[in-house]
Amino acid sequence: MRAIDVHVHVPEPPGDPAAEERKRMAGYFKASALPQSPDEMYEKYKALDIMAVIFAIDAESRSGHRYVGNDYVAGVVRKYPDQFIGFASVDPWKGAMAVRELERSVKELGLRGLKMMQITQAFFPNDERFYPLWEKCSELRIPVLFHTGQTGVGAGSPGGAGLKLKYAQPLLIDDVAADFPDLTIIMAHPAVPWHEEQLSIALHKANVYIDLSGWSPKYFRPVVVQYASSLLQDKMLFGSDYPAIQPDRWLKDFEALDLKEEVRRKIVLENARKLFNL
């Protein structure tokens, strides 16, 4: 295994509203041709010898679009169990239904984490109305992956398509990390413009990690590289944000950073291997 990519969006079926949003994001990231199916995604990761954490996003309440489903994600994992780890997603505004769906997704479908995207789901993670979800994650002993920082979703459109970045400030997640010390939290993306806030939280809270997806490493802020090479070398994780950013492109740009080889291996492979008990 060459690496573990902890941030991969599974291709939705053609015509799905989320697939259309993915096309718009591809333009923002100047991405190459998007995969047309999970099978194409599998061929890509198999050829690169990279394991991946895959998921979709349930934002039905805000978007009005039907979620592709945790069964869909689990089906891809069942087909390619040696290549993919699946995370569930739930709409936090569905309350007790969301908690039940999370439990079903883990116990019956075999999914191994929870993915939340606060900007598209329009919620604050430290709102105690949503604490039953984090309690269930702790009970099930699964990590939760929260989006942090700005997003390519809606970027460049009038009003950012109505999406509000305030939901993705890392300091909101600090409350969750403090209130649920047994909960493993991964903050997705270098959290521009709050990246120093994010680094501080990961340094202070033993249960918080950072995935470096959504940005080519050549655009990382110097302070992010500084912490990755030193104080947070055991808490940084490789993530691409595929298909917006291709894993081979990310890894090529990562090679250009001034890091010790043992640190580089931790970030692309060993830290995730330990986190997921592989």
All structural domains of the chain, each given as residue ranges with its CATH number in brackets, are 3-275 (3.20.20.140)
How high does pLDDT run on average in the chain? 93
Q: pLDDT-based confidence at 21, cuts 50/70/90?
A: low
- How would residue 32 be classed by pLDDT, with cut points 50, 70 and 90? low
Share of the chain residues as helix, strand and coil, in percent rounded to the nearest 5: 50, 15, 40
Whether residue 229 has pLDDT greater than 90 = yes
pLDDT in tens, 122-179: 999 999 999 999 999 999 999 999 999 988 887 778 888 889 999 999 999 999 999 9
Segment 23-46 mean pLDDT: 77
pLDDT reported for residue 154: 73
Average the pLDDT over 55-68 and give the result: 93
Answer whether 165's CB lies under 8 Å from 150's CB: yes
User: How are beta strands 114-116 and 84-86 bridged, if at all?
Assistant: unpaired
Q: How is residue 217 annotated by DSSP?
A: G
Residue 162 pLDDT: 86
Q: Which of 88, 189, 101, 222 is nearest to 143 (CA)?
A: 88
Read off the pLDDT of residues 176-216 as tens digits, 9 standing for 90 and up. Answer: 999 999 999 999 999 999 999 999 999 999 999 999 999 99
**Please, is 107 exposed, middle or buried when counting C-beta atoms within 10 Å of its C-beta (0-12, 13-18, 19+)?**
exposed
- Report field, pTM of the whole predicted structure over 0.85: yes
Token pair for residue 43?
A: 């061929």
Query: What per-residue confidence (pLDDT) applies to 241?
Result: 96
Strand 50-55 with 84-86, pairing = parallel
